Amino acid sequence: MNLARLFAYAVIPSRTKPVTPPVEGGPIRVDSTLRALVSESIDSANFPARSSVALLLDPTTRRSPIRDAVLEIAFGTAAGAETASRQLATSLSASMDQRSLACLFIVATLAEDDRRMVTLWTFPRDQAFRFASERGTHAIEVLNDVFSRTSHLRKAALLQGRNLRSEFTTGRVLDFQAGKATDAVANYWTSTFLKCTLAITSDTGTRLLARTLGRAYTACASPADHEQLFGAVIAVRVAQRQRWSLGDFAEEYLGSDARKEFLRAVPNEETLASPFDLNRPLFDQLLHFRIFRLDTGVYVSSPPSEIGRSVRLTDGDNPRLACEGRVVSEKLKIRHA
Amino acid sequence: MHDELREAYLSEARTALLNLLRESLLTEVQAALEGLPHVDRVCFRVKSLPSFLEKATDPTTRPPYSDPLVEIEDQVAGRVLVFFLSDVDFVEKCLLRTFTAVERTHKRPAKDEEFGYESRHLICNIPPPLKPPDWDGRRDLPPTFELQIRTLFMHAYAEPQHDLAYKGPRELPPGIRRELAWIAASSWGADQAYARVCDWTRGVRVGSPEE
């Protein structure tokens, strides 16, 4: 795709101010250096491995301020694209409070046939040194009007498609700060500015995690891997963190074969990277029982909370199980399951 | 264009992907609604070729489809049938905890004094975990799917009527149109009566004549 349009604005946080100040900036003439820079930034952002998001749209019109602006930037006239870019820059300013740094906001549109890729970037203001050495005289100059291209505080969003009713409704977001956090301040880029929600809803993500764990559990042969998967279930249920992706989960809790089988059960790369908010009651409901089959033909079905208490398992490659409790009911069935 | 579209729609790889999506959506909707009372059935289908071609070339569509393979959003569509009117809202809320809707419509006659097709329609993004392999890599697949939620009585009117209208002549004679309107009105009335019965069973007294 070719870089077709580029806009840049200096944005100052103004959410807590009574009036949003006008932003400085506008269209940038595209040259080969900028083409290379945008291309490099897109490559390094690695969007296929970033969070999938869905734009929150008016369900009767499919419109949202962001979608409208992005479509205008992608397909509108040059003047329309400039107005829409400025609106986005102003909206970004109004979304940021003093906890965020002033930034350079860049809107880059790439085109190929009737397809467009619109990328939105913020690069935080930084300080840099310029060192000069001439004829034995050395000097350091502090530059205050620079913006960091590689900062961990940079953010980006990518939306792409054609000018169709069904397209430009989802995108990818790079935001290292938001990551695990669920609050609106940490998520100002995605929720306040872009007005997006996670593409994997809480319930779908929770069912996905349960399903993936179940598949990994079935695929793993060793008791040690089963223990690790079970330990991960227990740990995530009580973890303070609410937002997870399957990739985060594997990294946090799983190693060796358990991890390999878990990752093998993930449907696709987009899913691996996309976060969701764990619905704990639903997760408990889905993984409510751990079922053991013993060499004697006996099945033991236990809620996770009883493992290690009334249901005791020994360690090792051939673990043994013992359980004790008062019988309060019994059923006669032809088969176990 | 008709032949090209027919060939593209029926391509083996594409059909396989649509069917995979249909299966994964069915599983997800069944899981989302598991344990809910008053859900009669959940079903999903891949749009038939004649139905797709009819929609793709419908001259009344404004603006006309420029790429029907991508733009027609009910190529994979599901339907949830529920017992009572109040279940429609409830099921819709449950489904919106699973899917992100880009469009929500309450299909019903434009005028209060008319009776006809009624249903709740959602157009939703396909969630990443449910996308079959290489879904995004291809450029001939829709990014969305359709979900309909309706009562058994809404369905009792809609489905046979759709079948008859599809197989019958384009213009129906006035007497037949009136018969269909009567069926629609009766279905609407049956839903309203069931709603009153439901209210009564919940212990809410309503002003019905039999009270």
CA distance B206 to chain A (A): 33
Interface of A with B in 52-91 (CB under 8 A): 52, 54, 57, 59-60, 62
pLDDT bucket at B1, cuts 50 / 70 / 90: low
Distances in whole angstroms, Cα of residue A147 to Cα of each of A122, A128, A194? 9, 9, 21
- pLDDT tens per residue across span B91-102: 999 999 999 999
Contacts of B70 in chain A (CB under 8 A): 162, 164, 166-167
Interchain CB contact of A169 with B (< 8 Å): yes
Contact criterion met (CB < 8 Å) for B128 and A200: yes
Interface test with B, best of A113, A167, A203 (most B CBs within 10 A): A203
**pLDDT attached to residue B211:** 47
Q: Are A121 and A156 in contact (CB under 8 A)?
A: yes
Show the low-confidence residues of chain A (pLDDT under 70).
179-186, 331, 333-337
| Record: contact A166-B99, CB cut-off 8 A | no
| Strand pairing class (A299-302; A290-293) | antiparallel
> What proportion of chain B, given as a percentage, has pLDDT over 70?
93
The alpha carbon of residue B210 is apart from the nearest alpha carbon of chain A, in Å, by 40
Where are any strands of DSSP class E within B4-143?
39-46, 76-82, 101-107, 119-125
Lowest mean pLDDT among A125-134, A154-163, B17-26, B35-44: A125-134
Q: Whole-structure pTM over 0.95, yes or no?
A: no
**How remote is the C-alpha of B28 from its chain's centroid?**
17
The verdict on A215 touching B (C-beta cutoff 8 Å) is no
User: Phi and psi dihedrals of A218, rounded to 5?
Assistant: -65, -40
What pLDDT, in 10s, does the model give residues B125-183?
A: 999 999 999 898 898 999 999 999 999 999 999 988 887 776 666 778 889 888 999 99
Task: Specify whether the CB–CB gap between B40 and B152 falls below 8 A.
Answer: yes
Q: How far apart are CA B17 and CA B5, in angstroms?
A: 17
Q: What gap in Å lies between CA A208 and CA B27, rounded to an integer?
A: 12
Q: What is the pLDDT of residue A223?
A: 82
Beta carbons of A166 and B129 less than 8 Å apart: no
Task: Tell me which residue in A54, A166, A271 faces B129 most closely, judged by beta carbons.
Answer: A271
